Amino acid sequence: MGEVKVLGMWASPFSLRVEWALKLKGVEYEFANEDLLNNNKSAELLRYNPVYKKVPVLVHGGHPVAESLVIIEYIDEVWKDGPAFLPTDPYERAQARFWARFTEDKILPGIFGVYSRAGEEQKKAAEELKENLKTFGGALKGKKLFGGETIGYVDIVAGWLAYWIPMIEEIAGVRIVEELPEIRAWFDKFLVVEAVKQCLPPREKLYDLNRKRRENLLATQGGHP
């Protein structure tokens, strides 16, 4: 259907997922970095995602697709020659969608809670997050990756955790995955995949941005970093 472009942002885990999906399928694409840090969104982003005005947007032959989970399923359906992300069995597909949604609904807000708070509130958020990560680790059912031997839909959706969590542990001064060996093993397995490594943002740059963001969040909430 034509050219592929990603309107993304280098430090966005949502945008990173879409790049991973394209790389894994072997699809060539152009990446346009949105200047979200200065709240300077391009006219293209506003035109292609008028509802949410957020990245990522996949533009395929001039047709926009928004929302990262929708985009990943779209990529899986369009580029069937590459490795399949979702299983073929309807029940297995439903399970994969369930766990992907679980990370969005439970783990993502949990990480934000730990990252944006301090003291007792942070401790409480960290305990809840650990419980949810433990539950998520149980869904691996002894597999190396959620997709089995290769990366699947859940790995693509949740894989950012492997890069972000250790960084947030350092920045926010909390231990989250220390007692979760299955999650740590999954992090290690995921991060050595070539397509994954190719798209990761530079650690120092991301660390610096996240550290500053935390300081700002704590300052606006009246807390102390």
Ligand X SMILES: N[C@@H](CCC(=O)N[C@@H](CS)C(=O)NCC(=O)O)C(=O)O
Note whether 55 and 34 are within 8 A (CB): yes
Q: How many CA atoms lie within 13 A of 173 on its CB side?
A: 9
Provide CB contacts within 8 A for 205, sequence distance 6+. Answer: 10, 11
User: Which of 16/130 has CB closer to ligand X?
Assistant: 16
Give the nearest distance from C-beta 68 to ligand X in angstroms: 3
Q: How far apart (Å, rounded) are the C-alpha atoms in residues 30 and 200?
A: 16
Residue 58 within binding range of ligand X, rule CB under 6 A: no
Q: In the window 36-55, what residues touch ligand X (CB under 6 A)?
A: 36, 53-55
Q: In the window 62-121, what residues touch ligand X (CB under 6 A)?
A: 67-69
Q: How far apart (Å, rounded) are the C-alpha atoms in residues 168 and 115?
A: 6
User: Which of 156/177 has CB closer to ligand X?
Assistant: 156
Q: In the window 160-219, what residues touch ligand X (CB under 6 A)?
A: none
Give the nearest distance from C-beta 179 to ligand X in angstroms: 29
Among 9, 125, 126, 174, binds ligand X (CB under 6 A): 9
User: Which of 112/143 has CB closer to ligand X?
Assistant: 112
Q: How far apart (Å, rounded) are the C-alpha atoms in residues 199 and 171?
A: 22
* The dihedral sign for the CA sequence 105, 206, 56, 16: negative
User: Which of 59/189 has CB closer to ligand X?
Assistant: 59
Q: H or E stretch including 68?
A: helix 68-78
Among 10, 16, 56, 132, binds ligand X (CB under 6 A): 56
Cross-strand pairs, 32: 7
Residue nearest ligand X by beta-carbon distance: 54
Q: By the criterion CB under 6 A, which residues form the site for ligand X?
A: 9, 12, 14, 36, 53-56, 67-69
